[in-house]
Structure 1
C-alpha cells in the first residue's frame, strides 16, 4: 500500500500508528534488535474477546466496540433463544422424525432454524396449516419461514409451547408482560390453545398498576372476541348505572358516618373523600348527598338536646358528652367538604343559615362542649370567600347573622384545641372576604361589632382587620379634592 494511503488511514484512525504503541510486544518484534544473549520475551496474553489486539484502537475498532456496547439486550436474547432450543431438543420426545424446517427471522436479521413436526404445527395453528397445505413431495421436508419478527425469542418459545400437554401449568410463574407477548404471537399465528391459556393466566394472575394499563391496551389492540376477554376486563371496568352508583356511595358514606372505631373512621374519611373527588364519569346525585346532610343535621340537633339535659348531671362523663358533639359536628363538616368539592354547597349554605333551633341549643352549651360546631360555619365562610360557594347576598348575610356570634365565642377554643386541623389564616381570610361581599351598611354593622370584640378578646377573636380596612376605604375615602393652595385634603364621608 502506498505510504501516502497508509498515512491517510492512520490520520483518520482506521489503522493504528505504530509510533504511538506502547505494547511490549510491539517494541520487541524486530529480530534485528534482539540481543543474541537475551532470552526471548514472553508471549503476550491473548486479548479478550471482542477487544482489539492493539492498545491504540482505531476508529473502526471504536465503532465496533460502541456497537457491541449497544447490543447487550440483543445478545442476552440470543443466549436465551439458544437455551430454549437446547431444552426443546433435549426435552421433547416425539414418535416421528422432524419433517419441517422452521426459520424465524427478526427485523435485525437474526435467524433461528428449528426442526419441528408438520403434524404438531398444522394441528395447533391455522397459520402453519395454511403454510403447509401444499402437497409434500416424498422425502422433501417443508421449509417454512416467518420473517420480520419483533421478538424472535417469543416466537420460538410460542412454537415450543405447541408441544406442551398442559399449557396452563407451563405458564405458571411467568410475569404478566411475558404472557402478553406470548398472547400476541399466539394470536398472530392462530394458535388458539395458546391464546386461551394466556387469557386464562391473565384472568387468574394479579396485576400491578403499570401491568393493568398494559393488559387493557394489549387486549384492545388484539380485538379478540368479547366473550374471551370480557371476564378479564371486568376486573378493571364496568358500566354502572346512576342508581347503582348512588347505592354504592350511599352505603360507603353512611358506613363512615356510623363507624364505631374512630381511628378507622378518620382513615376512611380521607379515602372516601379522595374517591369522591376522583369520580367524575358517574356523579353521585345531589339527592343522595343532601339526604345524608339532613340526617347529620337531625343527629346534631338531637345530640345537643340530650347534652343540654345531661351536662348538669354529676354522673355524666363530660368527656363523653364532648366526644358525642365533636363526632356529630365532624360528620357534618365532612359532608360540607364533599358538597364544596362537588360544587353543590349553595343549598346547604341556606340550610345552615336557617338552623335557628340548632343555634339556640348551641348558645345554651358551654364553649368547651360546642366549639367543634363552629368549624362548619368557618368552612362555609371559607367556601364563600374563595368563590366555591355561590349564594345570594341575603343568604350570605343570614349565615353570618345566625352563626357569627357563635364563631366569635368559640374561636379561642377552636384555636387552642384544633391547632393542627384549623388553618387560622384561611378562616380569617374567608370570613373577611365573605363580609366584604355584603352591602356597605351590612359590612358596617358586622365590622363595628367585631371592632369592639377584637379589642377585648384579642387572639381569641378572628382577626378580620383586612376587611375592616377595605370597608373603611370603601365607606369614607371616595374622592380626594384639592384645595386651591393644594395644601389641604377634603375627605367626603358617606353613611
Structure 2
C-alpha cells in the first residue's frame, strides 16, 4: 500500500489547474463530503484561519492597483464547498506548458476567483513563487508565521485571489514564472500584443519583475494597432514602471524632450508650405485631403495646442497671393521672358494659375473651419493689382480669381464667416463686377462649384449692405443682366427684396413677399 501511494504521488503533474473544484489529493480526499463535527480534545490545538476582512493586516499590504481587480489578496483557508458551488467559466485555450518542479514541490494552493464568477485552483512551488513575485513572497512568509505547525512537506500554503478580471491571463502569468528566460519571449510571441498587455498588467500587479521586463521588451519590438496603443497608453497611466526600461515605449507613445522641440521649425507649417509648392497634381490633392483632415476642427487628432497657428496659415496665404500676382503679370506680358526661370516654363501658364488658386482656396477652407478667416476678407479686398490685371487678362485665366470670391460669398451667406461691414463692403466693391463678368466661365468650368448656391449667396451678401450701397451694386447687376442674360448670375429674388425695402410700405410689402 505504501509503495502504491508512493508511485501515485510521483505521477502527479507539476501543475494542478482545475475549474470550480480543487483536485483530489491525499490532503483533501473528503473535501466533497463534510465530516460530522467532532468534539474538541482537551490537548488539541485550534485550526488556524487568517481573517478575511478588508481591515486585516495582510490585505492592507497590497496596493489595489497591483491586481487586475481592486479586490484583496490574502492567504486564507480555502473552502472546498464554496469552490464547488461557483459557476465554471468558459475554458480558454492554454498555452504550451513547459516542465516545472517535481510533484513533491507543490506546496502552495492558489485559489483564483473570477470577478464574473468561476474559480480556478493552481498548485505551485513556493520557492519559484517567492523568487519571482514580491507580493506572493510576502503572503507566503506571513502564512508561515501565522501557522506554527506549517511544514513544507505535509502542509499546503493556501492563498486566495478574489475578483480576478481574467482567470486565463492570471494563470498564464503564473506559468511564466516557471519558464526559462529564452523560452519566455517565445511564449509571448504566441499570445500577441493585446494579450501581452494583459499579462503585463498582472505582472506589474504581483510585482513579477521578469515578466514585466519580458513584456516590455516584446511590446517595444512589435507594431501596434490603434486599439492596442490606446490600451497600452491606459496601462501606463495606471502603473508606474522603471523609466530606463520604458523609455523606448514611451518614446513611441508621447513626444519627449518638449523643451528641445520648441526650438525646432514648425512642422505643420513646413508641411503646408510643401503642399502648396508640390508640382504633381495627384500627390498634391492627396496631401491636401490628408492635411485638411488632420487640421480641421472636428479632427480626432485635434490637440489643445495646435502646431499650426493663425500666423503660419496667413504667411503661406501671402506667399500664394504674391505668386498669383507674378503669374498674372506674366499673363499680361509685364514680365520679360528672360526673367522667367526654367521652373516657371515647365508648366503652362493656365495650369500654374489654377494651381495657385487651388492652394488659396484650400487654405481658405482651413481658415473657415478654424473660424479665423475674417482677416482674409480684408486681404482679398485689398488686391487692387489683381483687380486691375483682371480687366486685361484672358477670360480663360481671369475667371480663376472669381473662384476665390465665390468661396467668400458662399461662406458669408451661409453664416460660416462673419466680418465687419467695412470688410463686406470692400469685398463687394472690388470683386462684384469681376464676378459678373466671369460668371459664364464659372458655369462652364464649375470644378465642384454649385452655381445655384453661388447665385443665392451673392444676393444674400448684397442684402447685408446699407440700402444706398445696395442700390449701386443692384443697378450694375441690372444693366449687366439685361445685356448678357444667362451669362450673368440671376439675382432677381434679392433684387425684389431690395426693391421692397427701398420703395414699398405696409400691405404692398406683404404682397411682394408672398409672390
Asked if these proteins are the same fold (TM beyond 0.5), I'd say yes
Structure 2 gaps, min length 5: 1-86, 338-343
Match of 1:374 in 2: 402
Q: Residue 191 of structure 2 aligns to a residue in which SS?
A: coil
1:288 and 2:312 are equivalent in the alignment: yes
Judging changes above 3 Å, is the alpha-carbon distance between structure 1 residues 325 and 472 closer, same or farther for their aligned structure 2 residues? same
Match of 2:107 in 1: 100
Q: Residue 309 of structure 1 aligns to a residue in which SS?
A: coil
1:131 corresponds, among 127, 130, 139, to 139
Deviations, residues 429-473 of structure 1 (Å, cap 9, x unaligned) = 221221111110111111121122223323322222221121111
Deviations, residues 120-148 of structure 1 (Å, cap 9, x unaligned) = 11111111211222375262344232332
1:343 corresponds, among 358, 365, 371, to 371
Give, in angstroms, the shift of residue 217 of structure 1.
1.9
User: Matches of 1:194 and 1:391 in 2, distance apart?
Assistant: 61
1:75 and 2:98 are equivalent in the alignment: no
For these two proteins, the number of residue pairs brought into alignment is 403
User: Matches of 1:118 and 1:352 in 2, distance apart?
Assistant: 79
Match of 1:238 in 2: 255
Judging changes above 3 Å, is the alpha-carbon distance between structure 1 residues 130 and 421 closer, same or farther for their aligned structure 2 residues? same
Contact between 1:106 and 1:151, CA under 8 Å: does it hold in 2?
no
Q: Residue 105 of structure 1 aligns to a residue in which SS?
A: strand
User: Matches of 1:264 and 1:490 in 2, distance apart?
Assistant: 55
1:112 corresponds, among 100, 103, 120, to 120
1:257 and 2:257 are equivalent in the alignment: no
Contact between 2:107 and 2:152, CA under 8 Å: does it hold in 1?
no
Q: Residue 103 of structure 1 aligns to a residue in which SS?
A: strand
Judging changes above 3 Å, is the alpha-carbon distance between structure 1 residues 255 and 362 closer, same or farther for their aligned structure 2 residues? same
Q: Which deviates more from structure 2 when the two are superposed, residues 224-233 or residues 425-434?
A: 224-233
Q: Residue 89 of structure 2 aligns to a residue in which SS?
A: helix
User: Matches of 1:339 and 1:152 in 2, distance apart?
Assistant: 53
Match of 1:156 in 2: 171
Judging changes above 3 Å, is the alpha-carbon distance between structure 1 residues 187 and 248 closer, same or farther for their aligned structure 2 residues? same
Contact between 1:104 and 1:155, CA under 8 Å: does it hold in 2?
no
User: Matches of 1:490 and 1:248 in 2, distance apart?
Assistant: 59
1:222 corresponds, among 239, 246, 250, to 239
Give, in angstroms, the shift of residue 392 of structure 1.
2.3
1:329 and 2:380 are equivalent in the alignment: no
Deviations, residues 181-207 of structure 1 (Å, cap 9, x unaligned) = 211211221111112222222333322
Match of 2:501 in 1: 474
Q: Which deviates more from structure 2 when the two are superposed, residues 351-360 or residues 455-464?
A: 455-464
1:399 and 2:414 are equivalent in the alignment: no
User: Matches of 2:250 and 2:455 in 1, distance apart?
Assistant: 50
1:208 and 2:225 are equivalent in the alignment: yes
Give, in angstroms, the shift of residue 109 of structure 1.
5.8
Spell out the pairing of 1:314-325 with structure 2 (5 A cutoff). Answer: 320-325=348-353
User: Matches of 2:254 and 2:498 in 1, distance apart?
Assistant: 54
Give, in angstroms, the shift of residue 295 of structure 1.
0.6
2:285 corresponds, among 249, 254, 266, to 266
User: Matches of 1:74 and 1:99 in 2, distance apart?
Assistant: 25
1:454 corresponds, among 473, 476, 481, to 481
Contact between 2:410 and 2:458, CA under 8 Å: does it hold in 1?
yes
User: Matches of 2:511 and 2:154 in 1, distance apart?
Assistant: 115
| TM-score, normalising length: structure 2 | 0.71
User: Matches of 2:211 and 2:255 in 1, distance apart?
Assistant: 27
Deviations, residues 328-350 of structure 1 (Å, cap 9, x unaligned) = 11112222222222222222111
2:185 corresponds, among 147, 168, 174, to 168
Give, in angstroms, the shift of residue 351 of structure 1.
1.3
User: Matches of 1:141 and 1:410 in 2, distance apart?
Assistant: 97
Which structure has more relative contact order (CA 8 Å, sep 6+)? It is 2
Q: Which deviates more from structure 2 when the two are superposed, residues 148-157 or residues 472-481?
A: 472-481
Give, in angstroms, the shift of residue 208 of structure 1.
2.0
Give, in angstroms, the shift of residue 229 of structure 1.
4.4
User: Matches of 1:465 and 1:224 in 2, distance apart?
Assistant: 71
Contact between 1:104 and 1:152, CA under 8 Å: does it hold in 2?
no
Match of 1:57 in 2: none
User: Matches of 1:155 and 1:266 in 2, distance apart?
Assistant: 51
Give, in angstroms, the shift of residue 159 of structure 1.
1.0
Which is higher, the Rg of structure 1 or of structure 2?
1
User: Matches of 2:346 and 2:102 in 1, distance apart?
Assistant: 88
Q: Residue 139 of structure 1 aligns to a residue in which SS?
A: coil
